[in-house]
């Protein structure tokens, strides 16, 4: 499969416990449950949701990334229940000519610390390095978000630096830690 | 269009269409020296390429997307200094630059960058300016160091340069860290 074909049909991925599928309009209530939790949006470039409409808009935005060939966002579902939704993850931006992509992810709080994000990210990293011909996967994490940084370190991402006051989010400038995983490092760990 | 007098010897200004052959000659003269550091040389070989660059630069400036200024040293074009991708939402911009080899070693780029940074934090009201350059490019790295930037990290394999990936050192400077003109 050439990398141009990735955008032809949304790729479904399976892991031992999870199904990664495309987001659907009917996922709005589940998306709302995730993003109406201030603990989830604390380190996210979104305000805490107060209406279902915001969930619909986010789903539209995620789906448009794929239609507009900017990136891919998967819904994370239980493998046995394809219509369930625990969170989302994906490549927010894919720079095909430089073989680079930026990842992002979120998960409903009731399922934190069970290895779900790690399992989902491992699957999309395999997909990214093998099918999308990525050389570098990058993540920008709030400097204060230590658990998320630990997660990336567990996946053998390397911390490259702390970009001071890099983004203006939720009314203030925030430091962002930058992490990356290179193709050869990922291949070594297999 | 943007114009800034840096000091008695240096002026910065957005290039005009009539400068196309001047720019093309300067790029040509420095082709080999620049090849180690910048990715755009093979797409810039003719006067019409230079003309296209100037047209795009003017459009970017008008749209407030960026700023590419020619550096005029004693009325001769010496190089370019730019704000790449001004991010108005996060109020930051990256600075990029190159200088003709026969103009190096005289502080021209340091003074030009200082003037542009003053413009960024003053008139543009940005909060953060960053400079990215190759770890091997000592001359380039000296500029943010001299201007008081903080070294924030190394972006690995950040850019494809003709036949290999190049790392980028990243340097950041915040508005609050920049002395006002009185102190400088």
User: Can you give the CATH number for the domain in which A41 is found?
Assistant: 3.40.630.30
* Domain carrying residue A161: 3-188
Across chain B, mean pLDDT equals 95
pLDDT of residue A4 exceeding 80: no
When pLDDT is averaged across residues A13-32 and rounded to a whole number, the result is: 98
pLDDT of residue A2: 66
When pLDDT is averaged across residues A127-134 and rounded to a whole number, the result is: 97
Tokens of B46: 């003719």
CATH of segment(s) B3-127: 3.40.630.30
Pick from A97, A163, A165: which is nearest to B170 by CB? A163
pLDDT of residue A78 exceeding 60: yes
Number of domains observed in the structure of chain A? 1
Q: Which of B172, B162, B1, B30 is nearest to B99 (CA)?
A: B30
Statement: the pTM of the whole predicted model exceeds 0.95: no
pLDDT of residue B85: 86
Which residues from chain A sit within 8 angstroms of residue B170, using beta carbons? 161, 163
pLDDT of residue A102 exceeding 60: yes
pLDDT of residue B182: 52
pLDDT of residue A91: 98
CB A188 within 8 A of CB A161: no
Which residues from chain B sit within 8 angstroms of residue A102, using beta carbons? none
Q: Report the residue of B121, B159, B165 to disrupt the A interface, i.e. the one with the largest count of A CBs within 10 Å.
A: B165
Pick from A99, A135, A164: which is nearest to B152 by CB? A164
Which band of pLDDT confidence, cut at 50, 70 and 90, is reported for residue A1?
A: low
pLDDT of residue B29 exceeding 80: yes
CA separation for the pair B56, A72 (Å, rounded): 30
Per-residue pLDDT tens for A25-43?
999 999 999 999 999 999 9
Residue keyed to tokens 């200024």: B69
CB A175 within 8 A of CB B152: no
Enumerate the H helices of chain A as residue ranges.
28-35, 38-41, 52-67, 116-130, 146-154, 183-188
Residue keyed to tokens 């020619």: B70
């Amino acid at each position: 499969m050439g990398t141009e074909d990735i955008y032809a049909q949304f790729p479904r991925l399976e892991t031992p416990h999870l199904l990664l599928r495309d987001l659907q309009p009917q996922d709005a209530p589940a998306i709302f449950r995730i993003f109406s939790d201030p603990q989830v949006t604390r380190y996210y470039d979104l305000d805490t949701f107060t209406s279902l409409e915001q969930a619909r808009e986010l789903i539209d935005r995620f789906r448009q990334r794929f239609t507009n060939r900017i990136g891919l966002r998967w819904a994370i579902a239980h493998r046995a229940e394809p219509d369930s939704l625990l969170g989302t993850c994906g490549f927010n931006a894919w720079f095909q000519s430089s073989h680079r992509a930026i990842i992002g992810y979120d998960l409903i709080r009731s399922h934190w610390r069970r290895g779900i994000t790690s399992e989902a990210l491992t699957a999309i990293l395999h997909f990214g390095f093998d099918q999308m011909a990525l050389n570098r996967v990058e993540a920008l994490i709030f400097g204060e978000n230590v658990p998320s940084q630990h997660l990336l370190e567990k996946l053998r991402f390397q911390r490259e630096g702390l970009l001071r006051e890099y983004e203006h989010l939720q009314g203030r400038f925030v430091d962002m830690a930058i992490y990356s995983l290179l193709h050869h490092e990922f291949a070594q760990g297999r | 269009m943007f114009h800034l007098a840096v000091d008695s010897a240096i002026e910065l200004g957005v290039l005009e269409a009539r400068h196309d052959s001047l720019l093309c000659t300067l790029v040509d003269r420095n082709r080999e020296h620049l090849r180690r550091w910048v990715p755009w040389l093979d797409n810039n070989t003719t006067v019409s390429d230079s003309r296209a660059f100037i047209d795009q630069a003017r459009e970017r400036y008008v749209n407030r997307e960026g700023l590419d200024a020619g550096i005029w040293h004693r009325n001769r074009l010496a190089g370019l200094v730019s704000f790449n991708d001004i991010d108005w939402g996060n109020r930051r911009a990256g600075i990029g630059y190159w200088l003709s080899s026969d103009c190096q070693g005289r502080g021209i780029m340091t003074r030009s960058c200082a003037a542009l940074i003053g413009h960024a934090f003053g008139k543009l009201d940005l909060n953060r300016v960053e400079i990215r350059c190759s770890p091997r490019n000592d001359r380039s790295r000296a500029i943010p160091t001299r201007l008081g930037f903080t070294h924030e990290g190394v972006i690995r394999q950040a850019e494809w340069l003709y036949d290999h990936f190049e790392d980028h050192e990243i340097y950041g400077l915040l508005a609050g860290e920049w002395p006002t003109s009185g102190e400088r």
